[in-house]
Every structure is written in structure tokens, then in C-alpha cells.
């Protein structure tokens, strides 16, 4: 049988730095576990614009459609701020999500015991936290028409449109309910049904899907602003949160800080099953290209490493190997290995990106 195929799109800023550590782990699986992947690499984001004048070529898009999983680092950076909107680095990522139809974006926020003291929230609020935000990723205000900057009378007007069809809401709701069944069986749906018609429809459809197909799962609804407050107040009340594209973007960055650092949060973006039964999939850290620390060896690679663990679990059906990687990360943190973003006010000597990667490899060795 052919090896599973992976397309690596490391991207910009710290993207290639954190992806280098994932490549070490992929190599480790080949030599130590006999698990070999066919890996190809290509460009996305600003580096693709520099090389080809576009943040994602048609050829790269076609490769992404063919592989079993795409691993992406991060895109963007201040150098590209001046570019026309249509060729900004972020458009490359959005095209991948849209054309691969990756509607279900799982963003788990898990607080490792070793970092419970480190969160900006009190220890008992975050210790043991294990929640997943399911973010709708292919529709909503990110993609709705009309959009643009127009002139009305003698002033400019910026327009974006929040638009959701019933089927778009139903399919992401189903993925959240399915996930909840494999976890603690609770879903909280977040929208703004008090001020947005799209929010009213969202609430109705989620409720209908629940009543018809998932009545065994506990479902609650919350306005997204109150949800943000509850995420800070007592995040452990949640199991699975399902929400739209924009609210999911905001709530997941917030959830990241419950775990200690944005450098800790992985994600899986999943679509429909392909012919081989595997879902179309892209895995990426929730964080961006971190221009403020890029090129300095300071980035925390854990979010990218844990994204690879999600690939093992969701694309390659290797749940045990995914758990091996997650446990290696847990061990390294328990041993006190910290990149700069995980240093508290008491200070200490942080390790570099590659030293963190090496420590994870050593913990993987110890797991054999
Ligand atoms: N998926 C993506 O590719 C993605 C996601 C978010 C932002 N972006 C892009 O990245 C660029 C920078 O955006 P931003 O600064 O708002 O967000 P960011 O996530 O890049 O950085 C926010 C802060 O978190 C820190 N940080 C992020 N990841 C870290 C890591 N792994 N280790 C240590 N510290 C880390 C950064 O140093 C920075 O202080 C923008 O162009 C934005 O559009 C891309
Ligand atoms: C870079 C950007 C397009 C992206 C988003 O807004 O979805 C990012 O913030 C994310 O969270 O993945
Ligand atoms: Mg974001």
C-alpha cells in the first residue's frame, strides 16, 4: 500500500521555524516506528507571492487537493501589508480552506498540568481544561457577498456580508455533535441571535439537527459575547463549542490563552471524506507568523507539533501514535522545558525552538 501523503506548506515568519521541528518528528516516525510518509513541500502566503506573484498557485492548490493531509505553518507579515487585498498572504490560506471545503475547524484548548500556574487566569479555573471549539471555516462574513470598499456619495463604505445557508450550519453542527459523542456529550452553540438574522437561523438549525439526530447530546445556546465572558469566567463548563467563522476566530485566540500561550494551540480543518475514506484535511497551529519574534529561534513549536498529532489521529487513523506525541509534549513540559512564551515573571532560561523540538524527540525516544 502507498505511504500516506503529506503536503507541507510552511509559509512565512515563524512558520518554517516551527515546521522544521515537525519535520524532525516525521523523520523520527520513519526511523523509529517504521511509519513513512510521502512528504512534498511547497509555498503558500508571502513566500509564494515573492516567488510567483500569488499567495497560492493553481499547481499548489491542485497538490493540496490530492494529498491525504496538508500541514501548514503560518502566513503573513508586515512586509506584505502594502499588497493589494487580492494577493495578500492570508488569501492563500483562505483559498485552501474554501476550495478544499474544510468546513469543520477543530481547535482544542487543553491546559497541560505543568502550565496551569502559568495561565493569566487562576490555576483552579484552567487546571484540567479540555475543550474543543468547532469553528465553521468556509462561509460566513469571511466569504459572504457583497463585499468590498465602495464609494457612496462623497465617502467610502466598507462592506462584508454575514451569510449562512441552512446546509452550511447543519453540516458543522453535525460534526460538533459527532465529536461531543466521543467526548463528554455536551455542545454549546454560540451566535448573536439577539441582533443578527443569521444568528437566529444558526440557532434554529442547530436545534433542529439536535432534535432530529442527536437528542442524546446535551445542547445549550449562548450569545457569543456572553460566551466569551463565560470562557474567561469558568471555561471548564464547556465540552464542545460550535460557532461561526468570525466568532470562532476570536474565541479560539481567547481559548489559547487559557492554555498558557498562543504557541500551544493546534487545529484540524476537516472536509468531506475523499475516495479513500479519509477526510480532506489541513492541519495548522492557531497562531500566525509572529513577525515580532520571527528569525530569532524563539517560537514555540508545540502548536505545530500538536497539529501533526491531530493529523495522525484524524487523517491517518493512528490514534496511539498521536497520543504518543501528545504525551511526549506533556513530559517535556512537566520536565520544565520552556520556550520564551512559556516563561513566567520569575524568569529562567528559555530553550530555543529547535531545543524544544529536540526535547520532544528525546521524550519520544523514551516512550519506546
Ligand atoms: N493561520 C495563519 O497562518 C495565521 C493565523 C493568525 C495570524 N496570521 C497572520 O500572522 C501575522 C501576524 O499576526 P498577529 O501578530 O496578529 O498574530 P500572531 O499569532 O502571529 O502573534 C500574536 C502574538 O503571539 C505570539 N506568538 C504567536 N505564535 C507564537 C509561538 N508559536 N511561539 C511564541 N509566541 C507566539 C507572537 O510573538 C505575538 O506576540 C498577520 O499577517 C496575520 O494575518 C496567520
Ligand atoms: C490568517 C487568518 C486568515 C486566519 C483567520 O482569520 O481565519 C487566522 O487568524 C486563523 O485563526 O486561522
Ligand atoms: Mg485567528
Question: 130-258 has which fold?
Answer: Isopropylmalate Dehydrogenase (3.40.718)
Q: How far is the CA of 352 from the centre of ligand 1 (A)?
A: 17
ipTM of the prediction: 0.98
pLDDT of residue 169: 98
Summarize pLDDT for 247-272 with one digit per residue, the tens: 999 999 999 889 888 999 999 999 99
Ion ligand 3 nearby residues (CB, 5 A): 249
pLDDT at 120 over 90: no
The response to whether residue 94 sits with its C-beta less than 6 Å from ligand 2 reads yes
- Crossing angle of helices 166-181 and 197-213, rounded to 10°: 50
Identify the nearest ligand to the CA of 300 by its number: 1
∠ CA 139-143-145, nearest 5°, is 120
Question: Which ligand 2 atom sits nearest the alpha carbon of residue 267?
Answer: 12
The response to whether residue 75 sits with its C-beta less than 6 Å from ligand 1 reads yes
Residue owning the nearest CA to atom 6 of ligand 2: 249
Q: Range(s) for CATH 3.40.718.10 in the chain?
A: 1-105+265-368, 130-258
Q: How far is the CA of 253 from the centre of ligand 3 (A)?
A: 6
Summarize pLDDT for 208-250 with one digit per residue, the tens: 999 999 999 999 999 999 999 999 999 999 999 999 999 999 9
Summarize pLDDT for 88-113 with one digit per residue, the tens: 999 999 999 999 999 999 999 999 99
Summarize pLDDT for 45-56 with one digit per residue, the tens: 999 999 999 999
User: Which residues contribute to the annotated binding site for substrate?
Assistant: 97, 107, 135, 225
Summarize pLDDT for 27-44 with one digit per residue, the tens: 999 999 999 999 999 999
User: Which is more confidently placed, 2 or 286?
Assistant: 286
The domain at 1-105+265-368 falls in which architecture?
Answer: 3-Layer(aba) Sandwich (3.40)
- Crossing angle of helices 353-366 and 319-334, rounded to 10°: 120
Alpha-carbon span 61 to 42, nearest angstrom: 10
Amino acid at each position: 500500500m502507498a505511504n500516506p501523503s503529506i503536503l507541507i506548506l510552511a509559509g512565512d515568519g515563524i512558520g518554517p521555524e516551527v515546521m522544521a521541528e515537525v519535520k524532525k518528528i516525521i523523520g523520527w516516525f520513519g526511523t523509529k516506528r517504521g511509519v513513512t510518509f510521502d512528504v512534498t513541500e511547497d509555498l503558500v502566503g508571502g513566500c509564494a507571492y515573492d516567488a510567483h506573484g500569488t499567495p497560492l498557485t493553481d499547481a499548489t492548490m491542485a497538490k493540496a487537493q490530492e494529498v491525504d493531509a496538508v500541514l501548514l505553518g503560518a502566513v503573513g507579515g508586515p512586509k506584505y501589508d502594502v499588497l493589494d487585498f487580492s494577493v495578500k498572504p492570508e488569501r492563500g490560506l483562505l483559498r485552501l480552506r474554501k476550495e478544499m471545503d474544510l468546513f469543520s475547524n477543530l481547535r482544542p484548548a487543553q491546559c497541560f498540568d505543568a502550565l496551569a500556574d502559568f495561565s493569566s487566569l487562576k490555576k483552579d479555573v484552567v487546571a484540567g481544561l479540555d475543550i474543543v471549539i468547532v469553528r465553521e471555516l468556509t462561509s460566513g462574513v469571511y466569504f459572504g457577498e457583497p463585499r468590498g470598499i465602495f464609494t457612496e456619495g462623497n465617502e467610502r463604505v466598507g462592506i462584508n456580508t454575514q451569510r449562512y445557508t441552512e446546509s452550511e450550519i447543519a453540516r458543522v453542527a453535525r460534526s460538533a455533535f459527532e465529536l461531543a459523542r466521543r467526548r463528554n456529550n455536551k455542545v454549546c452553540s454560540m451566535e448573536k441571535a439577539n441582533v443578527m438574522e443569521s444568528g437566529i437561523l444558526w440557532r434554529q438549525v442547530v436545534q433542529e439537527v439536535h432534535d432530529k439526530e442527536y437528542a442524546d447530546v446535551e445542547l445549550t445556546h449562548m450569545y457569543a459575547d456572553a460566551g466569551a465572558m463565560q470562557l474567561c469566567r469558568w471555561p471548564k463548563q464547556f465540552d464542545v463549542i460550535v460557532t461561526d467563522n468570525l466568532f470562532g476566530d476570536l474565541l479560539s485566540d481567547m481559548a489559547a490563552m487559557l492554555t498558557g500561550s498562543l504557541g500551544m494551540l493546534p487545529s484540524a480543518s476537516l472536509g468531506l471524506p475523499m475516495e479513500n475514506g479519509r477526510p480532506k484535511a489541513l492541519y495548522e497551529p492557531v497562531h500566525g507568523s509572529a513577525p515580532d519574534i520571527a528569525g530569532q529561534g524563539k517560537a514555540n513549536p508545540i502548536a505545530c507539533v500538536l497539529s501533526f498529532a491531530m493529523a495522525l489521529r484524524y487523517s491517518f487513523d493512528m490514534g496511539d501514535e498521536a497520543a504518543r506525541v501528545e504525551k511526549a509534549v506533556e513530559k517535556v513540559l512537566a520536565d520544565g522545558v520552556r520556550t520564551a512564551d512559556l516563561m513566567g515573571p520569575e524568569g529562567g532560561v528559555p530553550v530555543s525552538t529547535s531545543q524544544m523540538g529536540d526535547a520532544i524527540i528525546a521524550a519520544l525516544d523514551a516512550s519506546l
